[in-house]
A and B are shown apart, each in its own frame.
Chain A
Amino acid sequence: MKPPLFAYQAPKTVDEAIKFLASDADAMVLAGGQSLMPAMNFRVANPSLLVDIQHVEGLKGIAVVDGAIVIKAMTRHRELELDPDVRRANPLIAEIMAHVAHVPIRNRGTVVGSLCHADPSAEMPLLFVLLDGTLIAKGPSGTREIPATQFFQSFLTTTRKQDEIVVEARLPALPAGAGAAFDEVTRRHGDYALVGVGCVVELDGGGRAQRVRLAACGIADRPVRLKAAEAALNGTALASADLDAAVRAAADAVTQSDDMNTSASYRRRVLGGLIRRLVATAAQRAHGGSRQ
């Protein structure tokens, strides 16, 4: 399969890139191309103009500043996965990254591109919703900060305006002492998740859970923070009955209907299984009070 006809521009500055985007309502940003190129080959996407941002100044690299991880638009998945400062600040990132497709795809695909593509089964949107990451979008009317929880609107749809470029994305470091875990169920290794779950647990001095975070991908038209399940776990000792309550509380979050991959009821069962396992793993990794 070959991509359909399009015009191509490779600007050198963000302002120039925004002008090209604003000049054509069917223009799209090309970064690593690992989602956009297959989408074009399949005619899921048919942009009239591709604005290739790989040569744009100032869009490369990762920085860990004041506990925040700043990921520029052209940062490849593999760069973030292997960055030693990022591993220290937030070990969940490397753990989750190992599930994103395969190394040759991660060598080319960008983190911000994956966020903008907004596949509801993808790991990067889940990571940003789980950790309350933010995106910085630049357009003709200036720069704005978008919380990840407001960025993902539905299947392949975000609040990024057509003439905006997400120039960077930010993730916090893991809180000191917190434990985190991620896993997913896929039909084949490297596929999009049927269901994926990320979890962060902090424990108080008595070993009780506080500030539990849970989020899932693959269960709705966007990544979902499982707040009802979090509420069921906060303040508990994470006993089996507490996990049961969390699993019950999370069941309603599955709104994805039966599709060609699997049924909604299977997704619900997988979600419950992953919550049980990952909350326990995250709690084991947490250093709080009596468990220290």
Chain B
Amino acid sequence: MKRAIRPAIPERSDDPRVEVALTVNGQEVRRTVSVRLLLSDFLRHELGLTGTHVGCEHGVCGCCTVHIDGKAGRSCLTLAVQASGCDIRTIEDVAAADGALHPIQQAFKECHALQCGFCTPGMVMNILSRFEESEPLDLSENGIRDMLSGNLCRCTGYINIIAAVRRAAELLGRA
């Protein structure tokens, strides 16, 4: 049995490595990584995509939310090896190539829905995934609060984020 703590220094690492091949923001990526590498750390450390933020690392804060095969998911609760073969989309892929903001980003800007911005990538990826779903959206205050309930913000008090979701719905023709 492998132990997390060993009394003696082993001759070589016990950490098994595995090849992963996945699509990230439309680009095919192949790397050999530790099996215990989290997808969040894979994106940040291996690929340099530091827009995906790491807050709590146990699925509570939502900062690390990315799209896994088109659906929002916690990259800190997903191993890189689990994402092998998947299509991953991160915040870096949301604005247009010329830098034009996505309507959700534009709405955040207009409504002052961010202060420090640490939670914003996760917020945007979560909201974007809900707008891309075919399911009807509940854009009442309670519905938006429910939509945002898995993303913690410690600056804004959420009022402006709720306004930004409404504004994004207008900009996207969903209001």
A binding-site residues for B, Cβ under 8 Å? 1-8, 10, 24, 26, 30, 33-34, 37-38, 41-43, 46, 48, 50, 52, 54, 78, 82, 98, 101-105, 107-108, 188-190
* B38 touching A2, Cβ below 8 Å: yes
In the complex, which of the residues B4, B16, B36, B41 has the most CB atoms of chain A within 10 Å of its own CB atom? B36
* A108 touching B38, Cβ below 8 Å: no
* A8 touching B78, Cβ below 8 Å: no
* A38 touching B77, Cβ below 8 Å: yes
Q: Which of B56-64, B93-101, B113-121 contacts A (4 or more CB under 8 A)?
A: B56-64
Nearest chain B CB to A234 CB, angstrom units: 35
Pick from B18, B59, B145: contact of A8, CB below 8 A: B18
Which residues from A are CB-within-8-Å of B3? Answer: 5
* A103 touching B58, Cβ below 8 Å: no
* A103 touching B147, Cβ below 8 Å: yes
A33-B78, A102-B149 known; A108 and B18 CB under 8 Å?
A: no
* Number of B residues, CB within 8 Å of A: 37
Q: How far is it, in angstroms, between the C-alpha of A275 and the C-alpha of B78 when the chains are bound?
A: 38
Nearest chain A CB to B84 CB, angstrom units: 8
Q: How far is it, in angstroms, between the C-alpha of A102 and the C-alpha of B15 when the chains are bound?
A: 32
Interface members, chain B 1-30 (any A CB < 8 Å): 1-4, 14-16, 18
Pick from A8, A42, A52, A108: contact of B74, CB below 8 A: A108
* A5 touching B150, Cβ below 8 Å: no
8 A-B pairs with least C-beta separation: A102-B150, A4-B4, A8-B35, A38-B58, A104-B72, A107-B71, A37-B77, A189-B149
Q: Is B135 positioned at the interface, with any CB of A under 8 Å from its CB? A: yes
* A52 touching B135, Cβ below 8 Å: no
Nearest chain B CB to A187 CB, angstrom units: 13
Nearest chain A CB to B92 CB, angstrom units: 18
* B36 touching A5, Cβ below 8 Å: yes
Nearest chain B CB to A26 CB, angstrom units: 6
Which residues from A are CB-within-8-Å of B71? Answer: 78, 104, 107-108
Pick from A5, A24, A50: contact of B4, CB below 8 A: A5
* A6 touching B36, Cβ below 8 Å: yes
* A48 touching B1, Cβ below 8 Å: yes
Task: Report the nearest A residue to B86, measured CB to CB.
Answer: A54
A-contact 0/1 string along B136-172, CB 8 Å cutoff? 0000000001110110000000000000000000000
Pick from A38, A41, A48, A104: contact of B73, CB below 8 A: A104
Can you name 23 A-B pairs with beta carbons within 8 Å?
A2-B36, A3-B36, A6-B35, A7-B35, A24-B1, A33-B77, A34-B59, A34-B77, A37-B59, A37-B76, A38-B58, A103-B129, A103-B150, A104-B71, A104-B73, A104-B129, A105-B77, A107-B71, A107-B73, A108-B68, A108-B71, A108-B78, A188-B149
Q: How far is it, in angstroms, between the C-alpha of A82 and the C-alpha of B150 when the chains are bound?
A: 19
* B35 touching A30, Cβ below 8 Å: no
Task: Report the nearest A residue to B6, measured CB to CB.
Answer: A5
New A-B contacts (12) at CB < 8 Å, excluding given A8-B81, A33-B82: A2-B38, A3-B36, A5-B2, A7-B2, A10-B81, A37-B77, A41-B57, A41-B58, A102-B149, A102-B150, A105-B59, A107-B73
Nearest chain A CB to B24 CB, angstrom units: 18
Q: Is B105 positioned at the interface, with any CB of A under 8 Å from its CB? A: no
Q: How far is it, in angstroms, between the C-alpha of A33 and the C-alpha of B82 when the chains are bound?
A: 9
Q: How far is it, in angstroms, between the C-alpha of A214 and the C-alpha of B95 when the chains are bound?
A: 50
Interface members, chain B 48-91 (any A CB < 8 Å): 57-59, 62, 65, 68, 71-74, 76-79, 81-82
Which residues from B are CB-within-8-Å of A37? Answer: 58-59, 76-79
Which residues from B are CB-within-8-Å of A4? Answer: 4, 36
Q: Is B130 positioned at the interface, with any CB of A under 8 Å from its CB? A: yes
* B59 touching A38, Cβ below 8 Å: yes
Q: How far is it, in angstroms, between the C-alpha of A233 and the C-alpha of B82 when the chains are bound?
A: 48
Nearest chain B CB to A108 CB, angstrom units: 5
Q: How far is it, in angstroms, between the C-alpha of A3 and the C-alpha of B2 when the chains are bound?
A: 13
Pick from A7, A104, A190: contact of B16, CB below 8 A: A7
Task: Report the nearest B residue to A10, measured CB to CB.
Answer: B81
Pick from B4, B82, B126, B135: contact of A30, CB below 8 A: B82
Q: How far is it, in angstroms, between the C-alpha of A220 and the C-alpha of B149 when the chains are bound?
A: 27
